[in-house]
């Protein structure tokens, strides 16, 4: 673990323009540098680097951050690895922090499991080429499947000898500890009954032995599973037996180094191609991935024999937001496809589905066509999820069954309702209307019902808030968010923008001296905003904005200092870092208009006015939200005593809103 002091040294030494210039051709533009973005294809430069602020920002694709983020995003490095790369670039010697005994043991255990797994991979690969059984059975199988020598070696395929203790015996003889053989899942501790979830052939197809430990994998072709840095962490083994009692595939169990819900088969070999092609091809099995690589399509992964998870999706989203699914066309494959579509849509992915001709899967089809034909097929034949679902349902002959057609439409609309982006939802509703021949407004109405229902299910019922009667305390009332027509996102963001840009600036405000005489006091912008918000007990609904606000408050209370822009730019929370870069970035720079006798007023020149306008705008919006909420409660015809209280509250809210509108110079027309 890298020490905090060394991390600070790295950030102090790093020059964002030098790091980016290693990968992007930059040209001077005012105080900034500009070039074509390395994260998306563009002809007109929209990628800006600010040496003064130490940040980069692309106004085309939206990516932005500091030097460490840049390397993490571009080279797909972890945070520690990006720091190490920068330390090497700037000749900074780093000392890894000494771990606690518990941390040391955990790291030692993990490394031991990785070493054992690496040994197992080499052992299985040697079996494939250096044993008669491996060559005739294992290598013979791969050759029969049409795999080339270079592909077999690229994926480090192997073979486990058809003997119950072959691997464990040789591993122990070589010096590997049984503790790690068992922890890795390569060896099973024998208790006269098969371990839950392991293959029944241990009991059913082999004679009992006295050995306490047996191999998990035996008599199988082996598919090593790699982590993102290329180290072997698990295995999948396929039997070549035809015995129905023998499981076709056996996979490694969960271990300290292998969490199947986070691991995609082939990602290590495919991540560069996925980033380059800007879309990911998701298939079902190991051989589908391998065969497609052999055919020249390398942007492909599989979910390692498990259902697609949120962890898998996050790994793909690091590289692209576009995905094409191609699972088997049987009932199980269709069910998995439909489920995966909804998971992907909910995470904001752009989803397509590819169906291969009847009787073919990615493996078999890739052997029938050229690389160019295969790539064109994937590109041209992929359907959006609506077309896929509609085609499935048409095959069930629903056109003449109104009830089934209605169920089909509901299923499609439910999927669309999961999409977080409103524009995308609108486009897909229009597409659904066209394909299913249903009025768009009806579909929109149904979609809104689903989204409202899902929103309400996710929200905890708020505790009833006691109504206040004093105008100055009205802002402490919390509106029921699900009933609000709008939120205060824009106003909250503006508050944080001012904090980030001007938090340490000094402004003068009206005050009184000890004798009660009017005077002026100096206060920082951050202190002024915090005082105004705390006075009315206002918190920010946006969790990231509220975290930033809390850090200002904590820093002032504990250390009597204002956090710097650099603190938030280099923040360990990526969301805060990204927000800061956005709020500090602008693609525009004013020319020197003074030479033409045109004098520009900058926000900093009227800072106090901007601060109060932002605060009053936020308070006014909060009041509007509460007025809407209160109005809705009035329409529900509550009991007479509650009705009277609500009407009094509504009057006070409206009066308070008038006050803030007057402060903002707004004229309200009736």
Q: CA 359 → CA 334, 362, 630, 637, distances in Å?
A: 15, 11, 62, 63
Q: What is the mean pLDDT of residues 46-57?
A: 89
- What pLDDT does 321 receive? 85
**What are the φ/ψ torsions at residue 213 (nearest 5 degrees)?**
-125, 140
Contact between residue 168 and residue 179 where contact means Cβ atoms under 8 Å apart: no
pLDDT at 234 over 90: yes
User: Which residues contact residue 360 at a Cβ distance below 8 angstroms, ignoring those fewer than 6 apart?
Assistant: 368
What are the residue boundaries of the structural domains of the chain, listed by start? Answer: 4-89, 101-258, 260-370, 382-458, 471-663
Closest residue by Cα to residue 184 from 248, 264, 288, 113: 113
Average pLDDT over residues 391-418: 79
- In sequence order, the 6+-apart residues with CB closer than 8 A to the CB of 470 are none
Q: What is the mean pLDDT of residues 396-401?
A: 64
Distance of CA 242 to CAs 142, 310, 453, Å? 17, 35, 49
Distance CA 242, CA 245 (A): 9
Q: Are 389 and 410 in contact (CB under 8 A)?
A: no
Predicted confidence band at 496 (pLDDT cuts at 50, 70, 90)?
A: very high
Q: Which residue has the higher pLDDT, 148 or 510?
A: 148
The model's pLDDT over 2-41, given as tens digits with 9 standing for 90+, comes to: 777 888 889 888 999 999 888 888 888 888 899 888 888 7
Q: Which residues of 332-365 are buried (b: 16+ CB within 10 A; e: fewer)?
A: eeeebbbebbbbbbbbebbbbbbbbeeeebbbbb
Give residue-wise pLDDT tens across range 87-106.
988 999 887 665 556 655 66
Sign of the C-alpha dihedral computed for residues 22, 24, 27 and 29 taken in this order: negative
Provide the CATH topology of domain 4-89. Answer: DNA Primase; Chain A (3.90.580)
Handedness of CA 615, 618, 624, 630 (dihedral sign): negative
**Beta-carbon-side half-sphere exposure of residue 396 (alpha carbons within 13 Å):** 15
Residue 204: pLDDT band (50, 70, 90) is: very low
Q: 3-17, 57-71, 88-102, 548-562 — which is least confidently predicted?
A: 88-102
Max Cα-Cα span within the chain: 101
The pLDDT-based confidence of 654 (bands split at 50, 70, 90) is confident
CATH 3.90.980.10 is right for the domain spanning 101-258 = yes
Residue of 188, 197, 122 lying closest to 160 (CA atoms): 122
* H or E element at residue 64: strand 64-65
Query: pLDDT confidence of 475, banded at 50, 70, 90?
Result: very low
Cα–Cα separations (whole angstroms), residue 404 to 247, 390, 396, 399, 643: 37, 12, 9, 8, 47
CA atoms lying within 13 Å on the CB side of residue 323: 29
* Whole-number Å distance between alpha carbons of 239 and 218: 8
Buried b / exposed e along 52-74 (16+ C-beta atoms within 10 A): ebbbbbbbbeebbbbbbbbbbbb
Backbone angles phi, psi at 318, to 5 degrees: -65, -25
**Residues whose CB is less than 8 angstroms from the CB of residue 53 and which lie 6 or more positions away in sequence, other chains included:** 565, 569, 584
How far apart are the two ends of the chain, measured CA to CA in Å?
Answer: 64
Rounded to whole angstroms, how far apart are CA atoms 430 and 439? 9
d(CA 591, CA 599): 11
List the single range of 75-79, 171-175, 501-505 with lowest mean pLDDT.
75-79
Q: Using alpha carbons, select from 170, 160, 135, 171 the residue that is nearest to residue 218.
A: 160
Q: DSSP letter at 330?
A: S
Cβ pair 252, 216 in contact under 8 A = yes
Task: Tell me what the pLDDT averaged over the chain comes to.
Answer: 83
The three-state secondary structure class of 486 is: coil
Residue 399: what pLDDT? 59
Average pLDDT for residues 470-495, to the nearest whole number?
Answer: 57
Going by pLDDT thresholds of 50, 70 and 90, the confidence category of residue 597 is: low
Tell me which fold the domain 260-370 belongs to.
Dna Topoisomerase Vi A Subunit; Chain: A, domain 2 (3.40.1360)
DSSP state letter for 589: -
């Amino acid at each position: 673990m890298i020490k905090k002091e060394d991390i600070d040294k790295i950030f102090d030494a790093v020059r964002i323009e030098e790091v980016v210039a290693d990968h992007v051709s930059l040209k001077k533009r005012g105080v900034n540098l500009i070039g074509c973005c390395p994260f998306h294809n563009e002809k007109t430069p929209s990628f800006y680097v600010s040496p003064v602020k130490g940040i980069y920002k692309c106004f085309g694709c939206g990516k932005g951050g500091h030097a460490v983020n840049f390397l993490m995003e571009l080279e797909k490095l972890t945070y520690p690895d990006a720091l190490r790369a920068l330390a090497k670039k700037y000749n900074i010697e780093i000392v890894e922090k000494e771990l606690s005994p518990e941390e040391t043991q955990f790291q030692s255990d993990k490394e031991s499991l990785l070493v054992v797994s690496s040994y197992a991979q080499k052992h299985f690969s040697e079996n494939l080429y250096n044993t008669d059984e491996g060559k005739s059975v294992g290598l013979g199988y791969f050759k029969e499947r049409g795999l080339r020598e270079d592909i077999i070696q690229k994926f480090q395929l192997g073979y486990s000898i058809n003997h119950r203790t072959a691997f464990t015996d040789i591993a122990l003889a070589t010096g590997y500890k049984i503790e790690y053989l068992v922890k890795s899942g390569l060896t099973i501790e024998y208790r006269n009954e098969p371990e839950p979830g392991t293959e029944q052939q241990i009991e059913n197809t082999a004679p009992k032995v006295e050995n306490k430990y047996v191999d998990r994998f035996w008599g199988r072709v082996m598919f090593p599973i790699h982590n993102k840095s290329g180290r072997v962490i698990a295995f999948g083994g396929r039997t070549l037996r035809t015995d129905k009692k023998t499981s076709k595939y056996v996979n490694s169990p969960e271990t300290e180094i292998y969490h199947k819900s986070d691991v995609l088969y082939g990602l290590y070999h495919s991540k560069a191609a996925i980033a380059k092609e800007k879309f990911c091809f998701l298939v079902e099995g190991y051989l589908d991935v391998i065969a497609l690589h052999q055919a020249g399509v390398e942007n492909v992964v599989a979910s390692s024999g498990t259902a697609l998870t949120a962890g898998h999706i996050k790994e793909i989203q690091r590289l692209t937001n576009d995905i094409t699914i191609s699972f088997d066309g049987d009932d199980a494959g269709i069910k998995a496809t439909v489920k995966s579509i909804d998971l992907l849509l909910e995470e904001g992915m752009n989803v397509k589905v590819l169906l291969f001709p009847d009787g073919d899967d990615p493996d078999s089809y890739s052997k029938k066509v050229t690389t160019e034909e295969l790539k064109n097929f994937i590109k041209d034949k992929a359907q959006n999820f609506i077309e896929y679902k509609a085609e499935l349902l048409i095959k069930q002959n629903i056109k003449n069954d109104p009830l089934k057609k209605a169920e089909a439409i509901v299923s499609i609309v439910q999927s669309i309702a999961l999409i977080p982006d409103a524009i995308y939802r609108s486009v897909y509703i229009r597409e659904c209307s066209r394909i299913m021949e249903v009025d768009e407004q009806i579909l929109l109405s149904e979609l809104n019902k689903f989204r409202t229902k899902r929103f309400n299910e996710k929200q905890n019922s708020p505790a009833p808030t006691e109504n206040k009667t004093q105008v100055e305390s009205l802002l402490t009332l919390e509106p029921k968010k699900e009933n609000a027509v709008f939120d205060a996102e824009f106003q909250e963001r503006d508050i944080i923008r001012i904090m980030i840009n001007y938090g340490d600036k000094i402004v003068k405000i009206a005050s009184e001296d000890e004798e009660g005489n009017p005077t002026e006091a100096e206060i920082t912008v951050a202190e002024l905003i915090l005082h105004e918000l705390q006075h009315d007990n206002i918190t920010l609904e946006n969790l990231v904005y509220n975290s930033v606000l809390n850090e200002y408050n904590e820093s002032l209370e504990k250390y009597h200092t204002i956090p710097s822009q650099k603190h938030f730019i280099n923040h360990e929370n990526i969301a805060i870092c990204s927000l800061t870069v956005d709020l500090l970035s602008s693609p525009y720079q004013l020319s020197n208009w003074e030479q033409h006798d045109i004098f520009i007023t900058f926000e900093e020149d009227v800072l106090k006015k901007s601060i109060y306008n932002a605060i009053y705008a936020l308070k006014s919006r909060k009041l509007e939200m509460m007025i809407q909420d209160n109005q809705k409660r009035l329409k529900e015809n509550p009991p007479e005593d509650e009705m009277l209280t609500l009407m009094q509250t509504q009057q006070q809210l409206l009066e308070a809103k008038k006050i803030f509108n007057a402060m903002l110079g707004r004229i309200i027309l009736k």
